[in-house]
């Protein structure tokens, strides 16, 4: 399988075979992540982040460093010429001269696709508005596989802001390639986006509900997300939704013993901190998995 030079824009561009190959490759990065390597020596990753980030940007950079490569970039577009009015395509056509690969996070949907049209070097979509976050989905799948030993056969719930959350869009597309039962749990006004729902509905069985308590006893994986405050056109709507779902020790009591809780982070108030110390909590392991998955993607796309 050849990924050399390929952009990673949408998870929909990947087949199940390709996703499985990336997950396998991520597994082989576990030991390399501990000891480091020179696989990408001489290569440069540029991280262009027009939106806040802790994990995605730093794990891309750490992944590149662990492979022996180097990184340049910005975490605040306000200190770049964007402030002077430069557009995204000109910024891309500049940075492609300095780097072998670009990880881009941008508030506009379609930004990664647009960047890939202009760029000579591969673009990795590190979050395009409320649309997609494909590298997070690879990490989420990898976490499920690592913790459960499989993806097929599981009952998986995506909970929270399914409308504006980009991680759940990419993850839902990816999960629809597996033989799973998908529970989409959200308030009515934050239901899974129509485009995503339409494209996955014929591939897997989907249960849509508002009530989280009802489904907890049945599921194997609970993936909960933050209500995406910054994407609400009307702040009063956000305040109505804030705190709508909350996982605490009582919630866990009603679930299966081997239920796992995932969250892309940052968490606001969706999971109470007492849950962090239970065997079900896997969201900090997920953070480590972000490194190995991004190492796999960088090494496959930059294959020498």
55 part of the active site: yes
Give the span between the Cα atoms of 65 and 178, in whole angstroms. Answer: 33
146 part of the active site: no
- DSSP state, residue 6: -
Give the nearer residue to ligand NCD in terms of CB position, either 43 or 105: 105
Give the nearer residue to ligand NCD in terms of CB position, either 215 or 227: 227
Separation of first and last alpha carbons in the chain? 14
**Which of 33, 157, 215, 265 forms a contact with ligand NCD (CB under 6 A)?**
265
DSSP alpha helices (H): ranges in the chain? 16-35, 55-66, 88-95, 111-118, 134-148, 166-175, 194-200, 212-215, 235-241, 249-253, 283-301
Determine the interface stretch with ligand NCD among 114-122, 178-186, 242-250, 263-271 (rule: CB under 6 A).
Answer: 263-271
Determine the interface stretch with ligand NCD among 64-72, 88-96, 209-217, 258-266 (rule: CB under 6 A).
Answer: 258-266
Of the candidates 258, 301, 262, the one whose C-alpha atom is nearest the C-alpha of residue 281 is: 262
Hunting for tokens 């496959």 — which residue is that? 300
Do 76 and 94 form a contact (C-beta atoms < 8 A)?
no
Determine the interface stretch with ligand NCD among 35-43, 92-100, 190-198, 260-268 (rule: CB under 6 A).
Answer: 260-268
**Which of 69, 127, 129, 255 forms a contact with ligand NCD (CB under 6 A)?**
127
> Which residues 26-65 are close enough to bind ligand NCD by CB under 6 A?
55-56
Determine the interface stretch with ligand NCD among 22-30, 86-94, 107-115, 261-269 (rule: CB under 6 A).
Answer: 261-269
Minimum distance from residue 110 beta carbon to ligand NCD (Å): 16
105 part of the active site: yes
> Which residues 132-171 are close enough to bind ligand NCD by CB under 6 A?
133, 136, 166-167
Q: Which residues contact 271 (CB under 8 A, 6 or more apart)?
A: 224, 246, 247, 248, 261, 263, 281, 283
Minimum distance from residue 56 beta carbon to ligand NCD (Å): 4
Helix (H, G, I), strand (E, B), or coil: what is residue 279? coil
Give the span between the Cα atoms of 153 and 30, in whole angstroms. Answer: 25
Do 76 and 51 form a contact (C-beta atoms < 8 A)?
no
Give the nearer residue to ligand NCD in terms of CB position, either 139 or 301: 139
Distances 251 to 42, 143, 259 between C-alpha atoms, Å: 49, 22, 11
Minimum distance from residue 9 beta carbon to ligand NCD (Å): 15
Told to check if 280 binds ligand NCD by CB under 6 A, we report no
Q: Helix 16-35 crosses helix 55-66 at what angle (to 10 degrees)?
A: 70
Minimum distance from residue 87 beta carbon to ligand NCD (Å): 23
Minimum distance from residue 143 beta carbon to ligand NCD (Å): 12
Q: Which residues are known catalytic residues?
A: 55-56, 84, 105, 133
Binding site for ligand NCD (CB under 6 A): 55-56, 127, 133, 136, 166-167, 225-226, 264-266
């Amino acid at each position: 399988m050849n990924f050399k030079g390929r952009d990673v824009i949408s998870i929909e561009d990947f087949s199940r075979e390709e996703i499985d190959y990336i997950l396998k490759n991520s597994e082989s990065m576990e030991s390399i992540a501990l000891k480091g390597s020179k696989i990408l020596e001489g290569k440069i990753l540029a991280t262009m982040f027009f939106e806040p980030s802790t994990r995605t940007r730093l794990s891309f950079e750490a992944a590149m460093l662990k492979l022996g490569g180097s990184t340049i970039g910005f975490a605040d577009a306000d200190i770049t010429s964007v402030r002077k009015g430069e557009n995204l395509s000109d910024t891309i056509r500049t940075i492609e001269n300095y780097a072998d690969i670009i990880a881009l996070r941008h508030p506009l949907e379609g930004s990664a696709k647009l960047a890939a049209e202009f760029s000579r070097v591969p673009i990795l979509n590190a979050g395009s508005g409320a649309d997609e976050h494909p590298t997070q989905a690879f990490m989420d799948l990898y976490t499920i596989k690592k913790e459960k030993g499989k993806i097929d056969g599981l009952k998986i719930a995506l909970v929270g802001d399914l409308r504006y959350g980009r991680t759940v869009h990419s993850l839902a597309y990816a999960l629809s390639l597996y033989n799973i039962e998908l529970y989409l749990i959200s308030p009515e006004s934050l239901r899974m986006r129509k485009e995503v729902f339409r494209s996955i509905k014929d591939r897997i069985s989907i249960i849509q509900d508002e009530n989280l308590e009802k489904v907890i006893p049945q599921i194997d994986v609970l993936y909960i997300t933050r209500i995406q405050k910054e994407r609400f056109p009307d702040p009063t709507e956000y305040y109505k939704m804030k705190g709508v779902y909350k996982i605490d020790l009582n919630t866990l009591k009603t679930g299966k013993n081997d239920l796992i809780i995932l969250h892309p982070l940052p968490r606001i108030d969706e999971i109470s901190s007492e849950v962090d110390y239970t065997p079900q909590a896997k969201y900090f392991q997920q953070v480590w998995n972000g490194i190995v998955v991004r190492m796999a993607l960088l090494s496959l796309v930059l294959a020498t």
